[in-house]
A = this chain, B = another copy of it.
Amino acid sequence: MTDQATQPASGHSMQPDDSPELRALYQGFKDNHLNPLWTQTGDLMPMHPNPAAVPHVWKWKVLLPLAEASGDLVPVGRGGERRAIGLANPGLGGNAYVSPTLWAAIQYLGPRETAPEHRHSQNAFRFVVEGEGVWTVVNGDPVRMSRGDLLLTPGWCFHGHHNDRDEPMAWIDGLDIPFGQQMDVGFFEFGSDRVTDYATPSVSRGERLWCHPGLRPLSALEETVASPIGAYRWEFTDRALTEQLRLEDEGHPTTVEQGHAAIRYVNPTTGGDVLPTIRCEFHRLREGCETSTRQDVGSTVFQVFEGTGSVLLGEEWKKIEKGDLFVVPSWVPWALKAETQFDLFRFSDAPIMERLGFMRSQTGAA
């Protein structure tokens, strides 16, 4: 960000002249755990969001080999809990925070391995860019994980994972860990050292109960904080996007902008976001499509699911391809350009911003 963001001071500052009395005053502040506003306004209250986090791209072809190497060197089990490698935003001091609110990691499970059960206040999802063979068991319900699927683990649900195959599998995890850590909201509880059910059904019980469009079981009429659907299957996502583009072809305005189809994953009990802190979406651009440039309050992460293209991050365009992840911090201008048909999974902290009244968006040149 520019100096303008960090310097609200308009020139005629209220900084006092140095003097022994002033130094005594400042010492008094320090001794009594006080800190004056007038020495720090610009940092505390910038002219516009001025994130420490920076835009960054992580290449899948770098990530995946490192995850594979971890598979050889690092056991999975109680204590560390997960063989997950967090994306550490270069602007955030080495913490495994992809943004101030969000955690994004690549998780890797070797053949026949089990990641033990636990639960926590933090909300989680998994998204599978390639592979299959792992089941995540959420509150006792085994959920198949396959390419293109979004899997939910809302806060305080017990969950473990096991790999039913002889091949390893990697996927990405998204959580609100940084938010939870900074805001001191988290509880954690260990569960079974194994998963509670090693069955490998192709469809989970949650899907069988809830994944019928526009239909709701009469035995479950209460609104829930998070979606009761554990798995949003690629088959449905792909079909929804395909239909939007076909409808556009037929002359009906169902896309976000010309050539840009998109769905939001929602909680069927409310029509709102799947998790109280995390929004999940999937975007498809036709070959050649370039989106408008946007700025939004809050941070967002994308993973390329298929195709090649580029992303504008601030002022720089970067090439991205299958599996690549990138983060857009708050108010950083971004746009997408598709070389081929271009499919991207997206998640963000927009529910936090919207529920607390801080959301703003702007479209057009930055």
Contact = CB atoms under 8 A, between A and B. Distances in A.
Interface of A: 8-16, 19, 21-22, 25, 28-29, 32-41, 43-51, 53, 56, 58, 62-63, 66, 69-70, 72-90, 94-96, 100-101, 103, 105, 120-123, 155, 177, 179-190, 205, 208-221, 223, 225-227, 229, 232, 236-237, 239-240, 243-244, 246-247, 250, 252-256, 262-271, 274, 276-277, 281, 297-299, 329-331, 349, 351-353, 355-358, 360
A97 to B, nearest CB: 9
B212 A213 contact: yes
B28 A66 contact: yes
Given A33-B87, A87-B33, A79 B262 contact: no
Given A38-B74, A69-B21, A217-B244, A357 B33 contact: no
Contact of A226 (B36, B39, B236, B357): B357
B331 A35 contact: no
29 contacts: A12-B79, A25-B69, A25-B70, A28-B69, A29-B66, A32-B63, A34-B96, A35-B85, A35-B88, A36-B85, A41-B81, A44-B181, A45-B177, A46-B188, A50-B184, A100-B184, A179-B183, A184-B297, A184-B329, A184-B330, A184-B331, A185-B297, A187-B360, A209-B244, A214-B232, A214-B268, A218-B262, A219-B254, A219-B255
A212 B184 contact: no
Contact of A39 (B73, B80, B101, B181): B80
Given A12-B78, A213-B229, 7 more contacts: A14-B77, A34-B85, A49-B187, A100-B184, A214-B267, A216-B263, A226-B357
Nearest to A329: B184
Nearest to A244: B217
A94 B26 CA distance: 13
Contacts of A69: 21, 25, 28
B66 A32 contact: yes
A19 B74 CA distance: 11
Contacts of A184: 49-51, 53, 100, 297-299, 329-331
A292 B181 CA distance: 28
Nearest to A62: B32
A255 B234 CA distance: 28
A58 B33 contact: yes
A221 B39 CA distance: 41
A185 B358 contact: yes
A241 to B, nearest CB: 9
A266 to B, nearest CB: 5
A74 B13 CA distance: 11
A53 to B, nearest CB: 7
Contacts of A220: 254
A357 B277 contact: yes
B219 A236 contact: no
A209 B83 contact: no
A188 B73 CA distance: 49
A220 B58 CA distance: 32
Contacts of A216: 263-266, 271
Contacts of A32: 58, 62-63, 66
